[in-house]
Chain A
Amino acid sequence: MNIPSTGSPVGFWTASAMIAAIILLSTTGEVLTAAAMKSIGDLDDIRAHSGMNGAIRAVVTCPLFFAGVSFLAIAFFALLLALNYLPLSLVAPASASLTLVTNAVAGKIFLKENVDRRRWTSAVLVCIGVYLLAH
């Protein structure tokens, strides 16, 4: 089954798999990167003490940061591949809105963030809003 409204050359399931791959890879990358930045500490404070070079050194010497960036890089190439087959108006909102929800779940489970009712409501509102913007 092709996507008739977009004239895309790939079927529904292939398009879904491409978007799911972007969501999974970018969620993993973002959670690892967020964990890395929390372990490093406030970059503004580090820059105030050790200058810009010190802040850059603190980031690039963190192994978790490289793990996160690796996943984000793979997610980027998955996005490029998807954009080659699917329109931006489908790929960007679909991946962005669903990534918000998967990140809220991952943030609660892996980063132990306080995802309270306010943040869940926000994630759902933004998710629906991004969906509506794509139409």
Chain B
Amino acid sequence: MAHHKLLPRQYLILGLVALCAPLGDTCLSRGMTLLPLVTLAHPLSLVSAVFTPWIGIGIALLIAFFASYLTALSWADLTFVLPATAFGNVIVALFARFWLHEAISLERWAGIVLITVGVGFVANGPSLTERPAPAVEMPAVASHQEAQEEQVR
């Protein structure tokens, strides 16, 4: 059964969606900048990049992201889950400010506020679109079965 108001476990899944994607992207970026430029003439060098350590870690994090993302999509709308992925940018910026002690400009603080407000907007609404009950189709199925039984008689 779909839950329109989320349980704490489901918020945890959305948290994993938000955290794993930006961390994975950062690892991929670090891995790809260490490699020589890849040209379209040698596309197989992209495949060999997959086996380098940073890209390997990035892929592992993105697999964790994908598993939690699929779970979230099974009980919530796509347009509800996607803002959670953007919230990852806020988490990375806050890590940078309070852990790495990097300076954050006024524009970035404005960006953090806008994303937080945007995610809060969606999170307060229903997580799943109401669908008409499948019971509407039942009489049609039943009448089809009745018609078949009539034919047999």
Given that A107-B77, A115-B79 are contacting pairs, would A123 and B37 also be in contact in the complex, using a CB cutoff of 8 Å? no
Give the shortest distance, in Å, between B59 (CB) and chain A (any CB). Answer: 9
Given that A80-B46, A123-B79 are contacting pairs, would A114 and B129 also be in contact in the complex, using a CB cutoff of 8 Å? yes
Taking a contact as CB atoms closer than 8 A, the residue among A31, A43, A83, A126 that contacts B83 in the complex is A126
A-B contact count (CB 8 A): 154
Residue of chain B at shortest CB distance from A108: B79
Name the prevailing secondary structure of the A interface residues.
helix
Residue of chain A at shortest CB distance from B123: A122
Q: Is there contact, CB below 8 Å, between B129 and A112?
A: yes
7 A-B pairs, CB-CB below 8 angstroms?
A40-B74, A59-B70, A92-B29, A113-B79, A123-B79, A123-B83, A130-B89
Residues of A within 8 A of B60 (CB): none
Q: Is there contact, CB below 8 Å, between A129 and B86?
A: yes
Residues of A within 8 A of B113 (CB): 129
Q: Is there contact, CB below 8 Å, between A80 and B28?
A: yes
Q: Is there contact, CB below 8 Å, between A123 and B75?
A: no
